[in-house]
Every structure is written in C-alpha cells, then in structure tokens.
C-alpha cells in the first residue's frame, strides 16, 4: 500500500494520472475538487455555499476540505490513497499529517508535477471530460470523437468545467503560487518530495510515477 500526494497547478495532469492509478493499482483517488463538484451537483447546502468561490477560482475554506478528506479516509483503501488537489495550504498539510498518524498511516511520496504556465493555459482552456466516466479530452490534442460518443464508455455527455476559462485560471494560478506552492518546501524539508516533468507525455509521466512508487 502506498499513499501519495499529486501536487501541481491546475492542468498539470494530476487527475489524468490519478485515474490511471485507480484503474491499474487498486488505489483510491481523493480529489477534493471532484467531491466539491459532486456536492454542487447534488445541491447540498455545502455545495451551494462553495459554488461561487469555485467558479471564481478561489480556494474554499480549509475546514470544509479537511472534513471531506477525514470522512473518506475512514473507508480505507487497499492499494493506498492518491491525494489529488489536497492539501492545498499549509494548514491542510498539517491536518493531513495528523489524520494519517491518528490512523497509523503514512505518506509515501509527494509528487510535484512541474508544468509552465503557458502550457497550463493551453491545456485547461481546451479541456472537456466525459460526464459519465470522466475520460479527459482536449479540443486540440484529443478532440471529442466525431461520432459524439466517448471512446471509453460510449456516453454522449460532454462536460466542461465552469472554472476552465482564462479569467478563473488566472485566479487559480495565483492561489496555487500563493497558498499551495509553499507545500513544496514543506514536503522537501520532510524528505518526501519527488519532482517530475509534467510536460512529458502521459505515458512517460506514468512511468515516472511508477518508478517513484517502486511499483
């Protein structure tokens, strides 16, 4: 069992790599972004509360996301957890350390996926996903099939995130550099940090992650 954090700005490829690890290594993906979007889709009070903040590209409160993670950790994960988009602040990182130690678990690696801003803008602005299975598409590099059906599950439901636009992305990047990038130093000091080139191909990044995880 391996517990890892995928750390990187929006569009670095965290979700794509997490999907692969879930499919092939029995790991459980804990994406706070997905959990918050699910809460919105379900129309819960919390979902309503965070909708505008997320659309703008700001971070929601630590308290909300820590609560979500605490709940999911209870379920356990045979192959380990992939933290995707969490932690995003130093208080979240401290809370995670405490939650893991309370449950006798440890963090095996924090993988920083490095991608320059220009590539992020291009990746995020053309991004769409399948509403059914989550397969990721891109207008230029992997367009939605002409048949109109997802290559993975055949669904015709195309989804675009409301925060995948130039204005919100600017805010998301600011939030990342201001509040999340200090985690690079935090985990480096703990001896957990591993870095990889997020501009490499999806397969190359997969291989780097496997190598880091020793699997």
- Catalytic positions, please? 14, 88, 127, 161, 172
Residue selected from 22, 53, 97, 105 as contacting ligand AMP according to rule CB under 6 A: 53
Task: Choose one: 59-67, 104-112, 187-195, 203-211; the region binding ligand AMP (CB under 6 A).
Answer: 59-67
Q: Is 8 in the site for ligand AMP (CB under 6 A)?
A: no
How buried is 105 (Cβ within 10 angstroms: 0-12 exposed, 13-18 middle, 19+ buried)? Answer: middle
Cα–Cα distance for residue pair 139/16, rounded to 1 Å: 16
> Shortest Cβ distance from residue 69 to ligand AMP (Å)?
8
> Shortest Cβ distance from residue 208 to ligand AMP (Å)?
21
Q: Which residue is nearest to ligand AMP (CB)?
A: 33
Closest residue by Cα to residue 6 from 178, 138, 196: 196
CB nearer to ligand AMP: give 13 or 80: 13
Task: Choose one: 56-64, 101-109, 131-139, 148-156; the region binding ligand AMP (CB under 6 A).
Answer: 56-64
Q: Is 11 in the site for ligand AMP (CB under 6 A)?
A: no
Q: Which of residues 93-122 bind ligand AMP (CB under 6 A)?
A: none
Q: Is 5 in the site for ligand AMP (CB under 6 A)?
A: no
> Shortest Cβ distance from residue 147 to ligand AMP (Å)?
28
Closest residue by Cα to residue 209 from 88, 85, 113, 87: 113
CA distances from 79 to 106, 116, 203, 212 (A): 13, 31, 21, 15
Q: Is 85 in the site for ligand AMP (CB under 6 A)?
A: yes
Q: Is 80 in the site for ligand AMP (CB under 6 A)?
A: no
| Residue 41 and residue 148 in contact, taking contact as beta carbons nearer than 8 Å | no
| Residue 215 and residue 25 in contact, taking contact as beta carbons nearer than 8 Å | yes
Binding residues for ligand AMP, rule CB under 6 A, total 17
Q: Which helix (H) or strand (E) holds 28?
A: strand 28-31
Residues making up the chain, counted from first to last: 215
Which residues neighbour 211 within 8 Å (Cβ) at sequence distance 6 or greater?
A: none
Residues that bind ligand AMP (CB under 6 A): 10, 32-33, 36, 53-54, 57-60, 65, 85-86, 88, 92, 163, 172
């Amino acid at each position: 069992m391996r517990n890892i954090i995928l750390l990187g700005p929006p569009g670095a490829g965290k979700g794509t790599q997490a999907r692969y690890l879930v499919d092939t290594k029995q790991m459980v993906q804990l994406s706070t972004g997905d959990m918050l979007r699910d809460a919105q889709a379900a129309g819960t009070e919390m979902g309503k509360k965070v909708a505008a903040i997320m659309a703008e590209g700001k971070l929601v409160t630590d308290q909300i996301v820590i609560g979500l993670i605490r709940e999911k950790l209870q379920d356990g994960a045979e192959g380990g957890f992939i933290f995707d988009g969490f932690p995003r602040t130093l208080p979240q990182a401290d809370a995670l350390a405490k939650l893991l130690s309370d449950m006798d678990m440890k963090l095996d690696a924090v993988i920083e996926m490095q991608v320059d801003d220009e590539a992020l803008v291009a990746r995020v602005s053309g991004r769409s996903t399948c509403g059914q299975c989550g397969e990721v598409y891109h207008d230029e590099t992997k367009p939605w099939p002409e048949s109109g059906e997802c290559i993975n599950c055949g669904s015709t439901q195309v989804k675009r995130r409301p925060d995948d636009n130039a204005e919100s992305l600017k805010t998301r990047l600011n939030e990342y550099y201001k509040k999340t990038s200090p985690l690079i130093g935090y985990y480096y000091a703990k001896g957990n940090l591993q870095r990889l080139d997020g501009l490499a191909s999806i397969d190359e990044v997969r291989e780097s992650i496997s190598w880091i995880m020793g699997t």
